[in-house]
Amino acid sequence: MRTLVLNAGYEPLAVVTFRRAIVLVLDGKASTIAEAGEPVIGPGEILGRPSVILLNRYVKVPYRDGAAVTRRGVLRRDNHLCGYCGKPASTIDHIQPKSRGGGESWENLVACCLRCNNAKDDHTLAQMGWDLRVVPKPPRGPQWRIKELERPAPQWTEFLTHAA
């Protein structure tokens, strides 16, 4: 059972265990704004089990670089659909081929089906006469900063869409 922690501005900040969340609430550092599951029996009282808590004071988040570029991340960003033909993709392709100086960046990598990947090989899009169906960009949104948000609890949904 995990709890989503929202910053005082309602921006998703972290995911913690519900025990940690209860400590924050009892210490007066956060307020429960959504509950789920069975209540927790504490020493002197019965507490709702927090599903989402809101920090009472705004926490400044140090600037972090965007998500690291990974094969899995590129496939996830592109919904596992080929950037060239739109069919299900299982590989990624360097849009500007590595042999021509193309880098390992979010902008230069795209999900790609095997068929397109084999056909394109070391060619540029211009040589192939192909267009991209998407504009590859670094992914944004809290689910890319907070790993646990890849599989969010149902109660979190409304708080995640506000932040996206």
Q: Judged by CB under 5 A, which of 13, 67, 81, 84 binds Zn ion?
A: 84
Of the pair 84, 159, the CB lying nearest Zn ion is at 84
Question: Does residue 82 bind Zn ion (CB under 5 A)?
Answer: yes
Q: How far, in Å, CA of 18 to CA of 11, rounded?
A: 19
For the bound state, the minimum distance from the C-beta of residue 116 to Zn ion, rounded and expressed in Å, comes to 3
- DSSP for 47-99? E--EEEEEESSPPPPPP---PPP-HHHHHHHTTTB-TTT-SB--EEEESS-GG
For the bound state, the minimum distance from the C-beta of residue 123 to Zn ion, rounded and expressed in Å, comes to 14
> Contact region for Zn ion (CB under 5 A) — 28-36, 63-71, 76-84, 155-163?
76-84
Cα angle vertex 26, ends 22, 29, to 5°?
Answer: 95
Question: Does residue 85 bind Zn ion (CB under 5 A)?
Answer: yes
Burial class for 111, CB neighbours closer than 10 Å (0-12, 13-18, 19+): buried
Question: Does residue 13 bind Zn ion (CB under 5 A)?
Answer: no
Of the pair 13, 82, the CB lying nearest Zn ion is at 82
Question: Does residue 34 bind Zn ion (CB under 5 A)?
Answer: no
Comparing C-alpha atoms, which of 74, 103, 77, 108 is closest to residue 91? 74
Question: Does residue 75 bind Zn ion (CB under 5 A)?
Answer: no
> Contact region for Zn ion (CB under 5 A) — 2-10, 106-114, 124-132, 156-164?
106-114
Q: How far, in Å, CA of 92 to CA of 161, rounded?
A: 28
Residues 108-127 that bind Zn ion (CB under 5 A): 113, 116
Contact residues toward Zn ion (CB under 5 A) are 82, 84-85, 113, 116
